[in-house]
Each structure stands twice: as C-alpha cells, then as structure tokens.
Amino acid sequence: MSATLGALLRQLQPDWTVSVFERLDAAAAESSDPWNNAGTGHSALCELNYSPQNADGSVDVSKAIDINERFQVSRQFWASAVDTGVLDDPAGFINPIPHVSFVHGADNVEYLRKRYEALAPHPLFRGMEYIDTPDEFAKRLPLMAKGRDFSDPIALNWTDGGTDIDFGALTKQLLAYIGRSGGEIAFGTEVRDLDKQSDGSWNVTVRNLRTYQSRTINAKFVFVGAGGGALPLLQKSGIKEAKGFGGFPISGQFLRSTNPDLIAAHEAKVYGKAAVGAPPMSVPHLDTRVINGKKGLLFGPYAGWTPKFLKDGSNADLFKSIKPNNIGSLIGVGLTEMGLTKYLISELLKSQNGKVGVLEEFLPRADGRDWELITAGQRVQVIRRKGAGGVLEFGTAVISAQDGTIAGLLGASPGASTCVTAMLDVMQRCFPREYADWTPQLQQMIPSLGQKLSENQALFQEVWDWTSKTLKLDEATATTQEDALGFAQVR
C-alpha cells in the first residue's frame, strides 16, 4: 500500500519530497513477502466468500462484482507503470493462473451452479465455465482427482483469466522507482512518534535500529501503511478518527509442498468453502505460486493466535493497543464472536496430521511427508466501535484525519489486490484540491477512472486487452468480444 501511494505521488507531483521508513532491513518482508500470503489476485473469480448464498437460496454477487472492479483498477495501474518504465518485466510479479471454485456435496453443487448462472453472463466474469463431470474434473485437476470418490457430487467454476501475484516483488519494484526518482527509502528505521504541529504538519520521530540514533522529519502529510503496526501508530497520532478502533491479531500457516512431482501436476488456484460457522479468513485453497520464476504449491490457511501485531513484532502488541476509547469495542467483540473463538481453539489444537487431514478434502491421497508447515503473515482484523460495543470486520478500512494531514490503512483481505483503489481513496480524502488537477494524468494511467467497467463492456474489452498484452497475460486470457458475451457449461 505505501509503495503504491509513493509511486503514484512521485508521478503526479514530482516536486514533492517523499520519504519511506521501513522498520525491517528489507522491503516486503512482512505480509507482502510471497510466502506470507497466497498471492491470489483477489478478483472474486474463485473466492466464494465474496458471493454468499441468501436465505432464499439465491446467490448475492454484488460484492464479487465490486471486488473485481477494484482489481481491474490495479491491473490498469500496473500495466501503465510497465509502459512508462515505473515497473520492470511484469513476469517478475504477475503470471496467468486459472482461478477455480471447488465444492462437493449435492447442496454445495447446487449453490455453485447458481453462482455460475449469476456471474458467467456478466462482462467482468466472461469465460467462466461450470464443470460437474468426473472426467472433465480429472482432466483439469488430475492431482485432486486421484483417489477421489465421485459418488460424492463435485462442481467447479473455472476461469482461465486469473493471476498469481508476487506482491513482494511488486513492492520492491515500486520502492525502487521511488528511490531512483528522488525519494528517500530508509530501511532498519522505526517510526517512534507522531506529533501534530500548530501549522497542521507532523513531526515524525524515527530511530535507526542499527545505530540507535533518532531524528525528526517534518511532514505536511503522513501515510501509515505499516500493516499490523498501523493501529499503534494511528493511536500515537491522537487523531479522533482512530478512537474506538481496535485490532484482533490472527496468525496464519500454510502447508507448502516439498515434492516437485506434486508441484508440477497442479496448475491452478482452487478455492473451496469455509466450514459452517468458520470465519471468511478460513476459506481453504490449494494454490499454485510463481516466485522468482519457479512454481510452488501451498495449501491453507490454518489459523493460529499470537498477541503480536506483526510477524516480527512483540508479544505486548495487543495489550499496548488497549485504550480507554476502544476497550468497549474489544469487550463487545469478545462477547459476540464466540464462533471465532471456538474456531481458533480448534485450529490451535490441530496436529500436523490433523492439518494434512483437512488437505485430504482437496487431495484424497495427501501424504504428510510431501508437505512442510510454514508460518504466514500476521493479520490484524479491524474492530470498529458500534453503539456501546464493537464489531469485527474482515476487510480493509482507510482512516484519515478530517484535515487530510494523516491517513492509515487497517485490516486484511482483499488488501493488496485492491491497493490502487484504496490509495486513490486516500488521495481524494487528503488532497481534494490537488486531486482535481491530477485527474487527467490519472485517467491516462487508469482509463476506467470514474467509470464502472461492469456498465461499459466496450471499455472493459479495451482495457482488458491492453492490460493482458502489457502484463504478458494475453496468451492465457485473451478472448474475443463474442467470448465476452458467452459462457460455457461442461456437463
């Protein structure tokens, strides 16, 4: 998020000074590291939690369309950045991978059919296929078909136009641009304090963690994009907009395959349904990854718990974040989220064999010897004040001061996939006068800015073809206008 905002500002306002402070000694070493997340370009092609089933049995696809719209904005910015040299070879951070929804059981198959019927005719979900035959399932997903009892009905929603994204590589390329265009990038430097000045600016106190020397930078605008570390910094700022917010940390784990034959036999991101009563973050998925040009395979996520707000954080993080203005929110969530508590306890009690047992839903012949358990990035879910209590939110939230001098980002998925939309939101809130002057240049970067691609099929076709070619995704994703109007059903 911070790298995206910095890269945007360096292009739009090159006369401004931009400084980036990173606590760790490397870029993207927390949640953006490619092994700390699943690398899914979240576009709602396969994530079933974005298309819930209503009480009457219909499927609500409004959130799926919204998420896809926002991902298309990111694609356009990345393609423009490649065209202008801001980003290097796109294959270093984005690669075409089919996105697949997978269910089994008669009721779930019926749900997936309804989801397909609701999404497939939509321009943003063109090319989606519905598959419910064992032969075609085995052809598309041979690894998942081995040993499967097909007397239990199965179904897939299959879309070739998905992507795998190395957000770590993308972040590094954006930061490299900020640096070579005149910005300051300081690693091993921790922001210790934020003090508002009488003229509206901020004194930002930072400390070099190697030399232990501190310095103060005066900034007219501050963006806090510190992942799980954002909440404590926003609390230090004292802005009223951050009051009442809390954070609930949840750690993640994945099983990563160590067997090259398994890795070679699977090429898709396959998302299932979360167990009944489990939170959206628990949606199981078997993911092909492309990192440094090499394929990988992971399965998860498995939730854990730690009071740390960052993977490289402190066990005191959660307790330090408890303030008089948010304790009511925290208590309210504690009383209402018993399902989440039970889920986390069950996850913590799972053995390695138990985790492999969950994998067997996807790979009936899973062998624990082919997998290693890795710890992923730390997520801090947003707790927002609601009445006298609070509510736990699974998503991202932009917080900005009324005077626009400081903003920050809280939350998790879909996160990085919609980073450009989130940062445009920050810019509109915090630079309303400048934003009007920036709009023509932004429209060159993002041709659909201010429009809904879901309502303009010709424009969507144009930007899809452009981004697919520029990002080198066209071989797997290019379709004709006729394809965009149709959809396929394999039965």
pLDDT at 475: 62
- Give me the mean pLDDT over the 161-171 stretch: 97
Q: What is the pLDDT of residues 291-347, one digit of tens each?
A: 999 999 999 988 878 899 998 889 999 999 999 999 988 888 877 776 777 777 777
How many residues are recorded in the chain? 491
pLDDT digits (tens, 9 = 90+) for 246-258: 988 888 889 999 9
Place of tokens 């399965």: 299
For tokens 């917080």, name the residue.
399
pLDDT for the residue 347: 74
Instruction: Answer yes or no: are the C-beta atoms of 436 and 55 closer than 8 Å.
Output: no
> Which residue, among 416, 411, 407, has the nearest Cα to 395 in the 3D structure?
411
Q: Is the peptide bond before 98 cis (omega within 30 degrees of 0)?
A: no
| Span 360-367, average pLDDT | 96
- Tell me how far apart the terminal alpha carbons of the chain are, to the nearest angstrom: 42
Reading the block at residue 256, the tokens are 């990563």
Q: Residue 487: its pLDDT value, please? A: 43
65-79 residue pLDDT tens: 999 999 999 999 999
Question: What percentage of the chain exceeds 70 in pLDDT?
Answer: 95
Residue 485 pLDDT more than 70?
no
Does 411 have pLDDT greater than 70? Answer: yes
| SS3 label, residue 414 | coil
Confidence of residue 483 (pLDDT cuts 50, 70, 90): very low
Strands of the sheet containing 396-400, edge to edge, are 222-224, 406-411, 396-400
pLDDT digits (tens, 9 = 90+) for 448-469: 999 999 999 999 999 999 999 9
- Averaged pLDDT, 384-400: 83
Token output for 344: 């986390």
Residue 444 CA: distances (Å) to CA of 77, 112, 181, 483? 9, 38, 20, 27
Average pLDDT value for the chain = 91
pLDDT of 391 higher than 90:
no
Q: Give 177-222 pLDDT, tens digit per residue.
A: 999 999 999 999 999 999 999 999 999 999 999 999 999 999 999 9
pLDDT at 490 over 60: no
Q: What is the pTM of this model?
A: 0.92
Output the DSSP codes for 277-289: T--GGG--EEEEE
% the chain with pLDDT above 90: 75
Confidence of residue 374 (pLDDT cuts 50, 70, 90): very high
pLDDT band (50, 70, 90) for residue 359: very high
Scanning 360-487, the segments in alpha helix (DSSP H) are 419-430, 432-445, 457-470, 474-477, 481-485
Q: What is the pLDDT of residue 312?
A: 87
Buried b (16+ CB within 10 A) or exposed e, 168-206: bbbbbbbbbbbeeeebebebebbbeebebeeeeebebbb
Q: pLDDT tier at 488 (50, 70, 90 boundaries)?
A: low
Distance, in Å, from the CA atom of 223 to the CA atom of 430, rounded to the nearest integer, reads: 10
Distance CA 39, CA 472 (A): 17
What average pLDDT does this structure show over 13-34?
A: 94
